[in-house]
Structure 1
Amino acid sequence: MSHALIRRRRAVVSDGVGMFAGDTTAVSAQGARIVDADGRELIDFAGGIGVMNVGHCHPEVVAAISAQAQRLLHACIHVATYEPYVELCEALVRLLPHGGPTKAMLVNSGAEAVENAVKIARQATGRSAIVCFEGAFHGRTLLGMSLTAKSAYKRGCGPFAPEIYRVPFPSAFREGRSEDALVAEHLRRFEERFVLGPVPAEHVAAVIIEPVQGEGGFVVAPPDYLRGLAEICTRHGILLVLDEVQTGFCRTGRWAAFEHAGVVPDLSTWAKSMGGGLPIGAVLGRAEVMDAARPGTIGGTYGGNPVACAAALATLRVMEREDLNARAAEIGSMVRARFERLRQEHDVVGDVRGLGAMMAIELCHDRDPARPATEVTAAAVARCRAQGVLVITAGAFGNIIRVLSPLVISNAELERGLEVIGSSVADAAKELATP
């Protein structure tokens, strides 16, 4: 059945719609398990790329979707105001205040959230330039792709949006330096670019950064770096935009990953796990910044769809009631401990990193970041899928195995998945050992 479904897909679905997990199929799912078209169960360590924090088909989310679908499917917030939109914005500003009066707007995806955040920042500052980072991923729309760093996603898609300027992202593993030295050097070079680089500070509307890079390989921005970056932005009248699309809503053990650093952004972007499986995203920010957008310049026909809002409200209730922030911290500790043991046992595991339940290992030959073990990684994840564990890769070289399991995963499922990852990495490394 899976092979037949994949054949049908290849016949009618554009090849440009990537397949990140081989020929995996899905017919149903519950909690942390997916059932494929052949009736085989897989432990889900991908979570729909970080979407299913409350688990697949959570009964409370499904009930909220069903109830709302019987009342109102669509009205368009630009045409008629409906309670689910307003109620969700009230919940978001309560959970994620931005240093005072806070406002929100709702969209359909993370890429849309980023696009609208940039428009708001430009209107609020009267400036046009946006600074982003190497290794960043901010979506596949024109502006999102302009901000995204991964060249594999950009081939043949240009020309890209103008006034985008990219700077290095601090990576202790790749640069082989202590975090303290790394932070000081990167902050100095960041501000130096306003004098020596292509754009002066007074032209920059915003700096956008992921607190933990997602597609870039789960590289965590050091807390001192985020604090220093916030101070530089404040001093130069630049808005700080934190992209929490993958990190938000309990994934890192906090509602927002930026809480770990004690910073408060001017604007932030959200999506993925916010809707419990339905497409919805948001931009949050200081009220005076959000209100700088002229009426009609942000939003869209489907943004904040009432059914998606109902799903998001139910998802937030589950997260609060079940304290998924605490569960994420517990999961992260278990994953880190197992991955650290794997690193000690195998030279191909170069680095273990992440925050909360957003964890990854980077595979490199002889632990050398300049020698990515891409082929070992591909073989390892294929072995995982064959043994009933769904994992996906990340990073420019595809040599990073990332864990984004639902936060409702049981300890037994988690341990089984980690055991399979460990044996798969070991077997793949042995089979593909370099001479």
Structure 2
Amino acid sequence: MSSVLSHADCPLLPLVGADVTVPLVDGRSVRHVNLDGAASAPALASVAERVNAVLPWYASVHRGAGYASQVSTALYEQAREAVGSFVGARSADVTIFTRNTTDATNLLAGAVPGRVLVLDVEHHANLLPWRRSLGGCEVLGVQATVGATLKALASVLSRRQISLLSVTGASNVTGESLPIDAVVDLAHRYGARVFVDGAQLLAHRSLSLAESGVDYVAFSGHKVHAPFGAGALVGRPDWLEGIEPYLAGGGAVRRITDEDVEWTDGPARHEAGTPNLVGAVALAAAAEALSSLEPDAVAAHESSLRSRLVEGLRELPGVDVARIWSDSAEPIGVVTFRLEGVDPGLLAAFLAAEHGVSVRDGRFCAHPLLDRLGWGDGAVRASIGVGSRAEDVERLLSGVRAWVAGERAAEYRREAGVWVVVDDPRPTPASLDIDRLVATAAACAPVTV
């Protein structure tokens, strides 16, 4: 075990809340093990520090004459440059700040001049928006191997007029991906552009538009340890310049009369309203921090932790680990599994209440993929990243082993579709105004994700 985890004893970057303790149902408190970063990743400490430094200067962006407004404008445009650099933007590429990856994908969907081709393994944010594109969307069923999947894509591209091939940079269910270089070569051979959903990828691996030939990439701050409400779409400007603004409003207009409107050019065309300065600054700070890491060190760190987790899970009876392709390259730090005969939501609730481990359960906004895997009832997902430690993995494995052994200290029931502890004794944080933490979360939680 020690050799497997030799690269992963310590986090690569410090996270806000890394040493927070959480109460357990037996009265103890333990360090919180957060393995749900694939959904929402905690802020990097450096991101929080940057945000705190900027807040005293917060003011209107682009349209203020005051000194603080000028500083805010400079910070916003500096952030735009940093975010573009993070994904290797070409000199002519445009970087547009959005709310998140979903927002960015919907923006691009309104600009694609023809038909879009996607695989059925995608997150809903990389499936549903393309149905609104001018030429509609064609969804292709994934094949058992990477090679066969690329051949299937080639077959469609050669027979149909496709404007855009949209692929995930890394699956939010399995962490797997298609080889980007092969995808780009294939799409460009038949005159299609390539969009990469970078939501899961970019917290774990780098991507350069200039080096790869990818035409567009979108990603979210909350996936790359900058949870302040910003995302980005980066890529070729021509499709985006020729359409109506994604949002109509202040900042997107050069001149307006009673009869006509002249829209502005560049990223401002699609950034109507007051920009999210803090979100943009946070996203840029996260991009700079992640870029400072040695790529091989990140890969080794994740590989050690992921290998140990998969190895430990496969030692247990009745555990299956999800995989899309039998011949894919090593995935990023996302592991989805199920325990035969156990409701994933119940297992997740048990891990949190009795072991202080946060994981994700459900269908991960990837219903077609879960159905293809035969896991339509859901699964459990653990995500590993730059802030993860070896002891995090061991705590999760210990919790799953305890469940298998029948070692449980509490009773559980379903409320509004969510498993909760019966008569939960855990107090809420004293500094927060929350009356009933678990019950409130249960009442507000959607049951279809």
- Post-superposition Cα deviations, 1:302-335, rounded to whole Å, max 9, x if no partner, equal 5751111222233234334465872454133222
1:360 Cα deviation from its structure 2 partner: 0.9
Q: What residue is the counterpart of 2:99 in the other structure?
A: 108
Q: CA deviation at 1:137?
A: 1.4
**1:133 paired to 2:133:** no
Provide the residue aligned with 2:311 in structure 1.
Answer: 340
Match of residue 128 from structure 2: 145
| Cα deviations by residue, 1:51-90 (Å, 9 ceiling, x for unpaired) | 33x54xx2x3223223322212443689998122221221
Q: What is the root-mean-square deviation in Å for CA atoms of aligned residues? A: 4.0
How far apart, CA to CA, are the structure 2 residues paired with 1:355 and 1:296?
Answer: 44
Q: Secondary structure of 1:248's partner?
A: helix
Q: Corresponding residue for 2:206?
A: 255
**Matched AA of 1:75:** V
Contact 2:158 2:190 in 1 (8 A): no
Residue among 27, 30, 47 paired with 2:17:
30
Q: Which of the residues 200, 203, 211 maps onto 2:169? A: 211
Distance 1:166 1:45, change over 3 A: same
CA contact 1:212–1:247 (8 Å) conserved in 2: yes
Query: Matched residues, percent identical?
Result: 13
1:272-310, Cα deviation, whole Å (9 max, x unpaired): 334622111011124666656675585233575111122
In the alignment, is the contact (CA less than 8 A) between 1:45 and 1:403 conserved in 2?
yes
1:192-203 to 2 correspondence within 5 Å?
A: 192-194=155-157, 200-201=160-161
C-alpha displacement of 1:427: 5.0
CA distance in 1, matches of 2:34, 2:323: 20
Q: What's the CA shift string for 1:397-417, capped at 9, x where partnerless?
A: 254322224522333334323
Aligned ranges for residues 306-321 of structure 1 at < 5 Å? Answer: 306-321=277-292
Over 3 Å counting, the alpha-carbon distance change for 1:137 and 1:401 in structure 2 is same
Between structure 1 and structure 2, the one with the greater Rg is: 2
- 1:10-409 residue pairs with structure 2 within 5 A? 30-31=17-18, 33=20, 35=22, 42-47=32-37, 49-52=39-42, 54-55=43-44, 58=45, 60-75=46-61, 82-98=73-89, 101-120=92-111, 122=112, 127-139=113-125, 145-147=128-130, 163-170=136-143, 175=144, 182-194=145-157, 200-201=160-161, 204-214=162-172, 217-218=173-174, 220-223=176-179, 226-249=180-203, 251=204, 254-256=205-207, 263-271=212-220, 272-274=222-224, 276-286=226-236, 298-301=269-272, 304-321=275-292, 326-327=297-298, 329-351=300-322, 357-363=332-338, 365=340, 375-386=342-353, 387-395=355-363, 396=370, 397-405=376-384, 407-409=386-388
Q: Does the CA contact (< 8 Å) of 2:174 and 2:335 recur in 1?
A: yes
Q: Provide the rounded CA distance (Å) in 2 between the counterparts of 1:341 and 1:227.
A: 33
Structure 2 partner of 1:12: none
Could you say what secondary structure the match of 1:311 adopts?
Answer: helix
Residue 155 of structure 2 aligns with an amino acid whose one-letter code is E
For each residue in 1:242-294, what CA deviation from the matched residue of structure 2 results, as whole angstroms up to 9, or x when unmatched? 00012213x2xx223999xx843110001133462211101112466665667
Letter in 1 for 2:284: L
Q: Which amino acid aligns with 1:46?
A: D
In 2, are the aligned partners of 1:99 and 1:264 still within 8 Å (CA)?
A: no
Q: For residues 129 and 100 of structure 1, do their structure 2 counterparts lie closer, same or farther at Cα, with a shift above 3 Å needed?
A: same
The match for 1:156 is none
Unaligned stretches of 5+ in structure 2? 1-14, 245-262, 364-369, 371-375, 408-449
Q: Displacement, 1:167?
A: 0.8
TM-score by length of 1: 0.66
Question: What is the CA distance between 1:381 and its match in structure 2?
Answer: 1.8
User: How far apart are residue 384 of structure 1 and its match?
Assistant: 0.9
Kept in 2, the 8 Å contact 1:336–1:352? The answer is no
Letter in 1 for 2:310: F
Please name the residue that 1:368 is paired with. none
- Per the alignment, residue 366 of structure 2 pairs with none
Higher mean displacement: 98-107 or 283-292: 283-292
Q: Is the 8 A contact 1:104 1:290 kept in 2?
A: no
Question: What is the total number of aligned residue pairs between the two structures?
Answer: 347
